[in-house]
Structure 1
């Protein structure tokens, strides 16, 4: 599918890293990110790296303990766990490694720091949807003055249309920040404006295999449907902010803290988990400016 933005037609910026080796941002990737607001890299993580990340997330009781759900009007639950400090375990090394943090520095054009990581958990059959929104619609309220921010979305499980894969509007980051209001417990972009943008830009279903990574700009409009399948859909998202965009107010995510980048090879040798999980600095959703209708998990709900 070609994307038409204004008078220009672009091919989807999808790049294959299945051959392994060092990963470097090419001029074509940089141009695509600036024009379309995203870059999709197939097999950014190989099967061993993906397996270690999955094992680490599944084995930590702290992830479940600190997770919370947002229930929609349809009764479905969108569950997530958010933390501020990357740490030295495999999820921390992933957030700090060159092919994640280094890629975001190149795409954003300056030094970045770890804004937060989150595990998005759409459980089989019951996982909820996320409304059309921009991440900067949230992060603007946290005192970030410029949209010099982005997210790296790593598929832990396969992401399909049936289990609620991400949907994006390529090029929508060029619209600037939209007004967001609280709807169904979520901050969603102004519906009428989104519909107008959808009449000009194509909706793209981001179908991903485990280990694929979507790098996208904080003003890119995106959403996701409910999980109507018998397959779980977990994804690990790492958000980055430029050092020059240090927030002007205290909030639930950190101000600038230097990020010590790690070699990609450490993903296969670092510890799976932190000896003390609390060093991850898990977020308390009650302190968020942009969340409502939050539910805490019980052991009986655990899938």
Structure 2
């Protein structure tokens, strides 16, 4: 097994976190691995039934066609994404509130977390664009979050491969601190000179994942993705979190601290395949209140 991967079996019992008394899918040594590398891949975070429900719901959900907006890369290819701030009553909101997601992130970040925002990232076959190197904290910093005590969980909906533009990360890059960010075309990216030097010093990892696998990563971890040159789509559900003690000091287009009500362990299976709540509110780029929003 690669040192950056954790395989979760259905019969495997959760490990109690010594930090918060919560249940996490990670061991203490794997927590140390996250602290060292800035990310960790958890295989089969969602079991097969949960994964099937996510895939079937997402692929049949008309809301993504209606609310997804495109972000162009330097070649004019676009990555589509639909973004929302609050985990409403649907499959995606349920996944973002699952104990095996929330408790694990609380274990990794060492504090209570709340839902900062989520999005479905869609790379269409052949036309799905790339993302330049960036850190999520490169722009969350501008939203009034004082500390880089934030993180994200990316759950693969489709197979995420090199060919269809899976996420790439630089191992240990979160220890660089926040890198200066600027606008490059329609995207916000990290200082190219700094990134070039970081690539010489740090190992690049392609985060290839099967549906239901998840990538947990720190907000200062440098990451990018290449264009989808394959005939296969690459959909990923990305759930982002802030820590309670890092409540923003000013208003932005993402929320202040709100207690997160965790879902039951079997909530996805009980929810089943049905469309999102009618009242779900999607975010639009016109609501951006910072320079270079995600």
Q: Could you say which residue in structure 2 is the equivalent of 1:13?
A: 4
Q: Could you say which residue in structure 1 is the equivalent of 2:123?
A: 122
Deviations 1:14-58 (A, max 9, x none): 111134444432101110111110111011111211111112222
Q: Describe the shift of the 1:186–1:20 C-alpha distance in structure 2 as closer, same or farther (beyond 3 A).
A: farther
Contact 1:166–1:224 (8 Å) recurs in 2 = yes
Q: Could you say which residue in structure 1 is the equivalent of 2:271?
A: 270
Which is further off, 18-27 or 252-261? 18-27
Q: Could you say which residue in structure 1 is the equivalent of 2:286?
A: 286
Contact 2:89–2:277 (8 Å) recurs in 1 = no
SS across alignment from 2:271: coil
Q: Could you say which residue in structure 2 is the equivalent of 1:6?
A: none
Partners in 2 of 1:87 and 1:237 — Cα distance? 15
Post-superposition offset of 1:272: 4.0
Which is further off, 119-128 or 58-67? 58-67
Partners in 1 of 2:11 and 2:283 — Cα distance? 34
Deviations 1:189-217 (A, max 9, x none): 00000111111101111111111000000
RMSD of aligned alpha carbons: 1.8
Structure 2: gaps spanning 5 or more residues? 15-24
Aligned length: 283
Output the TM-score relative to the length of structure 1.
0.89
Post-superposition offset of 1:71: 1.5
Q: Describe the shift of the 1:20–1:67 C-alpha distance in structure 2 as closer, same or farther (beyond 3 A).
A: farther
Partners in 2 of 1:237 and 1:203 — Cα distance? 21
1:76-91, aligned counterparts within 5 Å? 76-91=77-92
Q: Could you say which residue in structure 2 is the equivalent of 1:7?
A: none
Structure 1: gaps spanning 5 or more residues? 2-10, 295-303
Match status 1:47 vs 2:38: no
Post-superposition offset of 1:291: 4.8
Deviations 1:249-292 (A, max 9, x none): 111111111100112211100254566433x3311111223458
Contact 1:149–1:217 (8 Å) recurs in 2 = yes
Q: Describe the shift of the 1:229–1:274 C-alpha distance in structure 2 as closer, same or farther (beyond 3 A).
A: closer
Contact 2:5–2:40 (8 Å) recurs in 1 = yes
Contact 1:162–1:227 (8 Å) recurs in 2 = yes
SS across alignment from 1:264: coil
Deviations 1:93-136 (A, max 9, x none): 10001111111111100100000111000000100000000000
Contact 1:111–1:243 (8 Å) recurs in 2 = yes
Deviations 1:135-193 (A, max 9, x none): 00010011101001000000000011100011000100000000000002111000000
Q: Describe the shift of the 1:272–1:254 C-alpha distance in structure 2 as closer, same or farther (beyond 3 A).
A: farther
Contact 1:44–1:211 (8 Å) recurs in 2 = yes
Post-superposition offset of 1:245: 0.5
Output the TM-score relative to the length of structure 2.
0.92
